[in-house]
Chain A
Amino acid sequence: MKHIAKKAVLPLIAFGLALFVGGLVIGFTDSRVLSKIGAPISFLKTFASTVGNAYLALFQGAIYDPNLAEGHSFLTGFYPLSQTVVNAAPLMLCGLSVAIAFKAGLFNIGAQGQFIFGAIGASYVGFHYELPIFIHVIVAITAAIVLSALWGGFVGLLKAKTGAHEVIVTIMLNYIAANFLLWILGTSNFLRPGRLDPLAPPVKDTARLPRIFGENYSVNVGIFISIFVALLFWLLLNRSTWGFKTRAVGANSSAARTAGISVQRITIGTMLIAGGLSGLAGAIHILGFQYELTSDAAGSFGFDAITVALLGRGGPVGVVLASLLFAGLRVGGTTMQANVQVPVEIVLVIQALVVLFIAAPGLIARYVKIKNLESGQEMASKGWNG
């Protein structure tokens, strides 16, 4: 318990600081605040109320909105939380995808592309085939995982066989995947009958993930799948030989090689799994929430996943919590933009700052005196040739 608490100190301070800086950005760009710059007291008052209202709207959009509960049961107010959880599920899986690569000393920027292939696979099986309920879901998810695992595994293969740096390759593959999605949506197989815009047919009812709290809440079993996978992730890394080898390669690949571990095999295997995890995320997003494939199906899940993995310190518990936090910020940010006209992009700023503060514990340690502040760096700097 004490160990976990110690691990949480840095992220909490970082998040607090990021919210603070975000608040400054919101306040100093508000015209009403700026108009009072001559009078210090009313300036501070307006400043505080502007920032306070923005963050209140963010909270109401992400977790609990009392206005929604009015006239209904108390629980209705939790509708925003259900939206947060729905979005957290794919984010969690993508975060685990990035995290598992970190463990092997690899930086998987390619979650976005892998997600796209998962979404394509799940969508195609979902709308094209007639299959019995339950089996349909399994087949669709399997197709998604296989496609994306191959897409991710290709990166591992290139790295293992030719030394091509995974960061460069995954950045490029993301763009290739995004364009591939655009192209395939225009082909006759994926065009919705009667439509010309890039929009695939909706997945059949048999392929949809069941909802948990009735039709009004889009929370579906995807979140259980994601948490279950996080558990597997922990078991695999900490209780299996393969996990031990992976961590050994991540810690010091030349030492691992000397010890007789096949670094190549671990690299390829890790990227296969990482790809599969992001693909599963794509499948859950399509089968559980979106139901139809669009050119923007992947949103920014794959990129947010990197910040999730960094904030979650690469561990499954951290990733689960971080994905809930960032999904909440995203969902709440949209409400904030609608209600108090503070653009949702402030969420990106907060996200970036959190990770920046965590990645440089030296920065925080200079101003905040905490004993044994654990380094937030998930991997050692190795450079292009490493």
Chain B
Amino acid sequence: MRNNHVISVLAKKRSRNLKIMGALSLISFIFFAYLPGESQDVTFNFVLGDEWVIIQSWIIGSKIGAYSFSALSVLFLALAFLQARKGKKLGASALAYCLSVFIAFMCWAAAGAAISVTGLLQGGLFLAIPLVFGSLSGLICERSGVINIAIEGQLLAGAFAAGVVGSLTQNVWAGLLVAPLAGALISLLLATFAIKYAVDQVILGFVINVLVIGLTSFASQRILTTDAARWNSSPIFSTIQIPILSKIPLVGPIFFSQTIIVYMLYVIVAIIQITLFKSKWGLRMRAVGELPVAAESVGIDVNKVRFRNVLIAGLVAGLGGAFFTVGSSGAFSRQMTAGMGFIALAALIFGKWTPLGAVAAALLFGFADQLRTVLSITGTPIPSEFMVMVPYIVTIIAVSGFVGKVRAPASDGIPYKRGGSH
């Protein structure tokens, strides 16, 4: 009975998703292909440097491109429909569908211009780096049952510490070393008040952000700007070309021509994905986040596990903060994280509180941001302000359950008292 119910809910969700996809294809046909006036050539470039194989640029008329890729999207939609009827998952065909609609969109948005696809993807990854670090910090906290709105503060603290220490020592490694510690310090504040004093975690995270923004801005104004040569001129990491891999066409320049911080990120993502689902640490984390009473009944000290994990989360976000200073610009400026912590939170939620989901969402948001920059240079019919809104809008859609309901860990944000009453 229950099983049938689950299946029917899934089928319902699928049929709704298919309807949304159909509507999108229609929009694609009308707005990207039919309505625009004259067709102009769009050029897609794929080469950035000295890759082994030089992929030829691809030039296509904007109208013909939009028409063909809208048509292709309908084809993938039909495929998805057939799969749905057999009760299979839509993964691959849905992805191909999204890609076709996106290319149709690009034909319209970039009509008459040249787009460097490799550059676009590379820039997208660059912008996504702090988002990935931030969302992983949020993931570790929230999977353990502590809401983390303070990602912004953790990133900012990491950026500040790395910038200042990097400047004073003129050593990037010293900066990279203190950044996680600064993030963990913010986590210590979060953990103490959330776990020990059971303060509402949303309020707490909000206040911690104000505190960190205040302290770093104050120090920046009072100390850093008075003697910038001494306090605010950190050297930065140079990019490391990974031999062989960095020469792979398309993939190489995007993933394997980055700074050490990005390579560390790859490792951290892999570690978190594996340990969360395959290790004792991960099992305990999920246990105290979902059903702390059960965890305690088998002898786990719930609050100790939570405390430790919040600190680890701070380390991760702090390291991400280093990206802003020693990883890219070198100098710290006031509020330089510019709300990235909140987009990271959005990525975590949009990624349904899973590591790979959060990473994918962060990459998507970073890509959307880069696309906005690129399109605002080439000129496009959509105002750039609306493109900035994309991550925020999709997050609202996600939490409203329009495209598959997202669910937070069951005990996320609820302080735990021994014995299970809260």
Q: Is A169 in contact with B411, judged by CB distance below 8 angstroms?
A: no
Contact of A179 with B197 at beta-carbon distance under 8 Å, contacts A168-B399, A343-B217 already known: no
A310 to B401, CA, bound (A): 31
Instruction: Judge whether B218 and A171 touch: CB under 8 Å.
Output: no
Knowing A172-B346, A356-B193, the reply to whether A158 touches B383 (Cβ < 8 A) is no
Contact with A along B183-200 (1 / 0, CB 8 A): 000000000010011111
Q: Is the CB of A29 within 8 A of B200?
A: no
Given A168-B399, A169-B399, 20 more A-B residue pairs with CB atoms under 8 Å apart are A158-B400, A168-B345, A169-B396, A169-B400, A172-B346, A343-B222, A345-B215, A345-B217, A345-B221, A346-B214, A346-B218, A347-B214, A352-B208, A352-B211, A355-B207, A359-B203, A380-B200, A381-B201, A382-B413, A383-B408
Q: Closest A-chain residue to B218, C-beta based?
A: A345
For chain A residues 366-383, which have a beta carbon within 8 Å of chain B?
377, 379-383
Q: Assuming the A-B contacts A164-B396, A383-B408, are A176 and B389 also in contact, with contact meaning beta carbons closer than 8 angstroms in the complex?
A: yes
Which residues does chain B contribute within 8 Å of A346, judged by CB atoms?
214, 218
Q: Give the chain A neighbours of B410 by CB distance below 8 A.
A: 385
B345 to chain A: which residues have CB within 8 Å? Answer: 168, 171
Interface centre among B201, B202, B415 (most CB of A within 10 A): B202
B144 near A: Cβ within 8 Å?
A: no
Minimal beta-carbon separation of B235 from chain A (angstroms)? 25
* Whole-angstrom distance between the Cβ of A289 and the nearest chain B Cβ: 24
B168 CB–A CB distance under 8 Å = no
Residues of A within 8 A of B223 (CB): 29
On whether the beta carbons of B199 and A359 are closer than 8 Å, the reply is: yes
A185: nearest chain-B partner, CB-CB: B385
- The answer on a CB contact under 8 Å between B399 and A165 is yes
26 A–B contact pairs at CB < 8 A?
A: A29-B222, A107-B203, A158-B396, A162-B400, A167-B149, A167-B202, A173-B396, A176-B389, A179-B388, A183-B386, A306-B203, A310-B203, A348-B210, A348-B217, A349-B215, A351-B210, A352-B214, A355-B203, A355-B207, A355-B210, A359-B203, A359-B204, A359-B207, A382-B414, A385-B410, A386-B413
Q: Are A183 and B203 in contact (CB under 8 A)?
A: no
Separation in Å of the A353 CB from the closest CB of chain B?
7
Chain A count of residues within 8 A CB distance of the other chain: 54
Q: How far is the CB of A171 from chain B (nearest CB, A)?
A: 6
Q: Which B residues from 228 to 285 make CB contacts under 8 A with A?
A: none
Closest chain-A Cβ to B406's Cβ sits at a distance in Å of: 9
Whether the pair A107, B202 counts as a contact (CB closer than 8 A) is yes
Q: From residue A212, how far is it (CB to closest CB) to chain B in Å? A: 32
B349 interface contact, C-beta 8 A = yes
A107-B203, A381-B413, A383-B411 known; A348 and B213 CB under 8 Å?
Answer: yes
A164–B200 touching, CB < 8 Å: no
Contact with A along B344-359 (1 / 0, CB 8 A): 0110010000000000
**Closest A residue, CB atoms, query B193:** A360
Which of these, A349, A353, A360, A377, contacts B218 with CB under 8 Å? A349
Is B102 interfacial (CB 8 A cutoff)?
A: no
Closest residue on chain B to residue A349 by CB atoms: B214
Number of A-B residue pairs at CB separation under 8 A: 160
Chain B residues with Cβ below 8 Å from A382 are 413-414
A383 with B412: CB separation less than 8 A:
yes
* Candidates A109, A173, A180, A307; contact of B385 at CB < 8 Å: A180
Q: Report chain A residues within 8 Å CB of B87.
A: none
Beta-carbon contact of B211 and A353 below 8 Å: yes
Give complex CA distance A165, B2 in Å.
27
Q: Using a Cβ–Cβ cut-off of 8 Å, how many residues does chain B contribute to the interface with A?
A: 56
Do B386 and A381 touch (CB < 8 A)? no
Given contacts A169-B396, A173-B396, A307-B210, contact A182 B385 (CB under 8 A): yes
B396 touching A175, Cβ below 8 Å: no
A residues in contact with B199, CB < 8 Å: 359-360, 377, 381
The answer to whether A384 has its CB under 8 Å from any CB of chain B is yes
* A242 part of interface (Cβ distance < 8 Å): no
Interface membership of B36, Cβ < 8 A = no
B214 touches A345 (CB 8 A): yes
List the B side residues contacting A52 at CB < 8 Å. Answer: none
Chain A residue with the shortest CB-CB distance to B198: A381
Pick the 9 closest A-B CB pairs, nearest first.
Answer: A383-B413, A348-B214, A384-B408, A352-B211, A183-B385, A343-B221, A172-B392, A349-B214, A345-B217
A-side contacts of B342, CB under 8 Å: 171, 175
The A351-365 residues at the B interface (CB cut-off 8 A) are 351-353, 355-356, 359-360, 362-363
A-chain residues with CB within 8 Å of residue B388 when the two chains form the complex: 175, 179
The residues of B that contact A355 with a CB separation of less than 8 Å are 203, 207, 210
CB distance from A183 to the nearest CB of B (A): 4
